[in-house]
Structure formats: C-alpha cells, structure tokens
Structure 1
Amino acid sequence: MSLHTPARPARTREAAEKVPFGVSIFPALPEISDEELATIGAILQRWRGFSLAVYKDTCMKRRVAIRIRSTRSSDAAAYCELLSRSDQELDLLQKSLTIHVSQFFRNHSVFEKLRKEVIPELFAARTDHRDEPLRFWCLGCAGGEEPYSLAIMLREFFGRDIRHERVSLLATDIDDKTLQAARAAEYDEGRFKEMPVDLRERYFRQDGRLFRLVPEIRDMVAFQRGDICNPEEYVPSDLVCCRNTLIYFARPEQERILNRIADILRPDGILVLGKSEVLVGSSRGRFAPVCRTERIYRRIS
C-alpha cells in the first residue's frame, strides 16, 4: 500500500454547507482491538525493546489510532505491515506513545510552593548529608522544560545556597531523540505561557523564532536515558518530580513506581506528582501530604 495519496480537491462552498455544524470533516479514529494492540506491541518489543504491557490500553489504543490515521493506513493490519518495514514509523510511534509536551513553569503554583516552602526546608536539613549533593530528579522529562525550570528557580532564588552546597539535577526520559532536543535547549514561544517574562528575558536568547537557554542554566542539568519501568535505574534523591507521567500507566504499575520512588527517596524526601495524579495502593502509607492541592508529598517510610 502506498503512503502517498492524491491531494483532495478544494471543498466548494456548496459542499461545505452540506456538513452539519459541529460535525468533524476529518475521518474518525479507527477502533483498535486488544489483539491488534498486542501485535503492534510485539513489533515494538522486537525492534525497539519497548513494552506496552505496563501502559493503559485506552491511552495506547488512541495514540496508535492517531498514527494509523496520520499514515493513511487502511486499518491496523496495514499499519502493522508498515511498522514491520519502516524504522521511521517505529520511531514516530514510540515517540507518540511516550512523549508529552510540557511548558516552562507548568502549573506555576507548584513551583511557588516549592520555592517558598519545600526547597528552603531541603537546604536547611542538609546537616546529615553534606558529603553528598542535594539531588533533584525529574522522571519523564520530555523536552527539558521541567528540569530547566527547576534550574532557573535554583539559580534565581537559591544562588547563595547552591554556591555553598553541591546540587545535582538529573532528568531522564526513555526516548533518545527527545533527550537530544532537551540537551539542545531551543524552544518556540508556545513553551513560555506560564513563565514570567522577566525570567525568559534573563535566561534565554532569541534567535529568529526560537529561544535558546543560556549555557549557565543548561549546564546545570544532566540528561540521560532512563526507563521508569526499570527499578534498577532509579537514583537516590532528595526530591523527585514525576508529573503527568503516571497517568499513562495501569494502576498496578503506578503503585510499583510510587513504591520504588519511596525506596530511593532519602528520609523526608519530596515527591511531586501531576495535578491529575494521586497516590495509589500501598504507596499511600509511605507518603504524607505536604500540599494536597499541589500534589506534593513527603516520604515517611
């Protein structure tokens, strides 16, 4: 099957008027059966070592369906045939299944809570671990907006503390191309909707339509590939940001991830979840709320 389709003729006014108001002119997403999703998962597992087993089926089916429609594949069987012969489509599918676009200082109130209360307490409690750096870890870092936001906040408001204390800021993601883009630290204007203008002007340099992060902030963050489903890759930390990542996983995997985070957090370490995420299962007994509204928790066991 060819992926190239002839251009559709322009819709006339008469044709447009026949489309009822509120009805989409785009084709509906195809339905994906459990068996078809399993076949696509097997292809990803074989050629990319990427498993769909721990993710929510509804999320994965929708994203696969979007790729089927985008490639003009006639159905899931045709799309599987395409996946089997196209490295590019394998990359695009994996990226669509794992990446979520972020913004600088997304949910600004979370960063305000961290700045005013949480991070000052972390620096104040450094008496027992001065031989080790204060470790911040962002899981599922996407394009780097979240870890760079933390770095900007540390430099802007805790400059004196980071001059006297060693601070480590690690960001991990499963997708290599996403990490490559994060290291480049170049962003379009849409990523700054929640970032104060004065901070953007201070820490970014505009080059055409892009804004480049200044090296002093870019160099504060270490990016590396990491699989949130692999417990051996978890890093001992004082603060873990895992925002808008758990929502893609099935509940048992959410519980396992949260318990593993509790395992690697230092005593009284901090976990930050996304606004639509909550503690589940046995993990509820391992954290105490710092701020329920902002989904910030402290490890207690």
Structure 2
Amino acid sequence: MKLNKTEIQTGENKAKASRSLEEDPEFEPLKRVITESTGFNCEQYKEAHFRRRVNVRVRATNSENYAEYLRLLRKDSKEHDYLIKALTINVSEFFRNPETFRVIEKEVIPFLIKSRSDSLIRSIRIWSAGCATGEEVYSLAILLHRVLGKDLDRYRISIIGTDIDNLSLEKARKGIYRENVLKNVDISTKENYFVKRDETYQISDQLRNMVRFKRHDMISEPYTDRFDLIICRNVIIYFKKEIQEQLQLSFHQALNREGFFVIGKAETLLGTASKRFKPYNARERLYIKET
C-alpha cells in the first residue's frame, strides 16, 4: 500500500518533532520544575522512559517545545494532574496474569490461613503497591472472600492499595469499571461481586469494605507496616536499577516472617535483594522472604 503525499509529510513532521525534542536543552529545567511542582522525582526514572511520557503531554497540549510546555505547566494547575497521569503507568485489569492469581488462591492464601490457625489474633495483611485504579486490589479481595467463605469474619483482613496518582486512587475508591477490564472475570464472579449499572460494573459493598486506598510514594516514603503478601508488578521496572534494588529491599523489610512477594513477569530481583528472597514459584515471580 502506497502512502499519499499528505501522509508522508505528516510522518516526516512527526519525525522532525521527535528529533527536535530529543535535542531540546530545556528538558533539564523542565525536569526540575516537575519535581518542584508535583513532587515527582524525575531523576529516579529511566531517562528514555521518562522523556517518552513527558512527550505525550507536550504533544497533547500542542506545545512546540519544552519551554512552551513549561510555561503552560506553570500557569495551568490542571496540567499537573494530567502530567502525573501520563508519568504513571496505569494499565490494569482484574486478575491480570490469571495463572499468578491461581497460585495465590490455591497455595499462598491457604498457607497464610493455616499458619494462623493456632493464633489468638488471626490477621492477614496484603499490600498492592502501585495499585493504579484498583483492579488488583479487588481481585485479591475476591480471592480472600472466596477461600475463607463463612470464616471471613474470624480474621482481621487488611488489604491496602497505594499509588502516587490521586486520580487513579479516586477511581479505585469508586470501584466502577468498564467491561474491557473484566475479561478474566467469569460470569459467577461477576454475579457475586459486581453490580451491573448500564455499561459499567460496580464493585459490591462487601468487597469495598474489605479494602482501602492511600496515596503513597514508595521511593520517598518507606512503609513501616508489616504485611504477609506484597504485590508490586510492572511498576518499578521503569525506575533506574539502583532504585529498583532499593525498593525491593524496602519490600523485604515490610514483609512479615515467611511473607510472600510478587513482581511482574518481566522483572527480576536485583543485587542484594536477590539474596533476601527465595523462589516459591519462579515462573510466576513469586518469592518468600528469607529470615
């Protein structure tokens, strides 16, 4: 298929614009302002990834260069929110990588239940770090509700989802989703845990009461609570390697003895952190805290 003259010209213009931004000396001043005005620490992200995400907003606002976008950012407070949304990766769905959730349901949760069978205080604490719009958090709540059944009230359940993006957290708290993110949810689960509202699905009150959401910067605000299961998938892969290792060590510190840690399928444990966890299911990137 041949391209017409207009399509060729458009492609050439886009290529020129990309090269122009790559060579724009105002990128460094823009990074400083982003850090100062949004609290988003640009230096901890991989340069290529960070630049690509910023360029999304530069083009969306029809800014000719970084200097023009910087002027817009300074005078338009709403652009701060749009920029944070572009910088944070919020691709999510219920039971993303279903095989990982099957292991959690069939092995991890039963292990946690059995290990607390003789305890006076039966608690299970779970943290979804970088929870985006909450699909992962509610998926975990469904599993716990399904496994514990009538025994649910005998346990102190704490499931917390954290993210740096306030807009995503607001959506997570509402618990209203379109059908495209429920492709891994079977009919029975939809009927038991969702309420159909026109073209959307509302999370049931019983699940919403099991979870809570909180804004949290995992880099600058180490978590002092202790958890039995921490899931952080496809979030820190965009950080520099030294930051990734630092965060993995922080997650290790935040886990209870024999706590479980889950990372993304494309991620690996780095440096010292690789020696602090032992594989439980390497294919699903599921590890146990070494004591």
Aligned partners of 1:234 and 1:261 also within 8 Å: no
Closer/same/farther in 2, CA of residues 206 and 69 from structure 1, 3 Å limit? same
How far apart in 2 are the matches of 1:58 and 1:129? 49
Question: 2:155 matched to 1:165?
Answer: yes
Closer/same/farther in 2, CA of residues 74 and 263 from structure 1, 3 Å limit? same
1:255 to 245, 248, 271: 245
Closer/same/farther in 2, CA of residues 47 and 231 from structure 1, 3 Å limit? closer
Closer/same/farther in 2, CA of residues 202 and 25 from structure 1, 3 Å limit? farther
Question: 2:228 matched to 1:241?
Answer: no
1:110 to 92, 97, 100: 100
Residue identity in the other structure for 2:14: P
Q: Which residue of 1 aligns with 2:138?
A: 148
Bigger helix fraction: 2
Q: Which residue of 2 aligns with 1:220?
A: 210
How far apart in 1 are the matches of 2:217 and 2:119? 27
Give the deviation of 1:129 after TM superposition: 5.5
Aligned partners of 2:276 and 2:290 also within 8 Å: yes
Q: Structure 1 length as normaliser, TM-score? A: 0.88
Closer/same/farther in 2, CA of residues 118 and 44 from structure 1, 3 Å limit? same
Aligned partners of 1:123 and 1:161 also within 8 Å: no
> Deviating runs (4+, > 6 A) in structure 1?
none
Residue identity in the other structure for 2:230: V
Q: Which residue of 2 aligns with 1:7?
A: none
Q: Secondary structure of the equivalent of 1:281? A: coil
Aligned partners of 1:151 and 1:217 also within 8 Å: yes
Q: Secondary structure of the equivalent of 2:14? A: coil
- CA deviation vs aligned residue, 1:27-53 (integer Å, no higher than 9, x gap): 346234595443222112222222112
Question: 2:279 matched to 1:292?
Answer: no
Aligned partners of 2:222 and 2:250 also within 8 Å: no
Residue identity in the other structure for 1:76: Y
Give the deviation of 1:111 after TM superposition: 0.4
Residue identity in the other structure for 1:256: Q
Question: 2:112 matched to 1:122?
Answer: yes
Q: Secondary structure of the equivalent of 1:187? A: strand
Aligned partners of 2:56 and 2:86 also within 8 Å: no
Q: Which residue of 2 aligns with 1:57?
A: 47
Task: Choose 270-279 or 25-34, whichever is displaced more.
Answer: 25-34
How far apart in 1 are the matches of 2:255 and 2:214? 19
Aligned partners of 2:227 and 2:259 also within 8 Å: yes
Root mean square deviation, CA, Å: 2.2
1:89 to 62, 79, 100: 79
Closer/same/farther in 2, CA of residues 98 and 233 from structure 1, 3 Å limit? same
Residue identity in the other structure for 2:147: F
Q: Which residue of 1 aligns with 2:14?
A: 27
Aligned partners of 2:116 and 2:123 also within 8 Å: no
How far apart in 2 are the matches of 1:75 and 1:199? 48
Q: Which residue of 2 aligns with 1:6?
A: none
Q: Which residue of 1 aligns with 2:56?
A: 66
Structure 2 gaps, min length 5: none
Closer/same/farther in 2, CA of residues 73 and 162 from structure 1, 3 Å limit? same
Count of aligned pairs between the two proteins: 286
